[in-house]
Amino acid sequence: MSIYRHRTRAQMLEWLTTNVRHEDECHIWAGACNSDGYPVVCWHQREVRCHARSLLLELRGKKMPERPVTWSTCGRRTCMNPEHLLSGTRADMTRWLAQQGRYPTGPRRSLASASGRIAGARMGVAHARTVASLAAQGVSHKEIGERYGVVPSTVGHALKRWRRTGLIV
């Protein structure tokens, strides 16, 4: 069992602030990270591993929501500089990131999702213009679907998504 599990609140706060290396203005976490790359710690006052950034803010006296999400203004997952950290709900984080232009919403999100699909997808964005021209010529969704090996509703959903993102008119 690790020594840091038995620390007091003050000792844990000190450990969280000193277990970092300094790069520019960021304090880069030097401890364990979860599979997504975010700092985590085990502490005797918590029953499970917890997010180190949320714990740091809580120990510094910030009131945290029931299921806190903590993000950094610098964009680094491992940054532990309290001046770079914001916390709130997932909706708060999404709203903040969207205001900063760092979270795609609406059509941009749909386009990113469509672009991220595998190149060999039956109804991928590479087929958008061809499918749209067939639909404009009056070819039914059923016939287009048979050509691409998908059901008619997939054709309709793809056309709607492509119009929304501006790939087709």
Q: Could you report the per-residue pLDDT of 74-111, keeping only the tens digit for each?
A: 989 999 999 999 999 999 998 898 888 777 766 666 66
User: What is the percent of the chain with per-residue pLDDT over 70, rounded to a whole number?
Assistant: 83
Q: Quick one: pLDDT band at residue 121, thresholds 50, 70, 90?
A: low
Pairing of strands 26-29, 50-51: unpaired
d(CA 72, CA 68): 13
How many Cβ atoms sit within 10 Å of the Cβ of residue 47? 8
Q: What is the mean pLDDT of residues 50-76?
A: 91
What is residue 27's three-state secondary structure? strand
Sign of CA dihedral 76, 41, 54, 10: negative
Q: Quick one: pLDDT band at residue 47, thresholds 50, 70, 90?
A: low
Classify each residue of 78-94 as buried b or exposed e, where b means 16 or more C-beta atoms within 10 Å of its C-beta.
Answer: bbbbeebbebbeeeebe
Residue 100 class from Cβ within 10 Å (0-12 exposed, 13-18 middle, 19+ buried)?
Answer: exposed
pTM of the model: 0.61
Tokens of 28: 């880069």
Q: What is the pLDDT of residues 22-43, one digit of tens each?
A: 998 999 999 999 998 999 998 8
Q: pLDDT at position 1, please?
A: 43
Check pLDDT > 90 for residue 60.
yes
| Bridge partners for 69 per DSSP | 88
- DSSP H or E stretch at residue 41: strand 40-41
d(CA 69, CA 113): 23
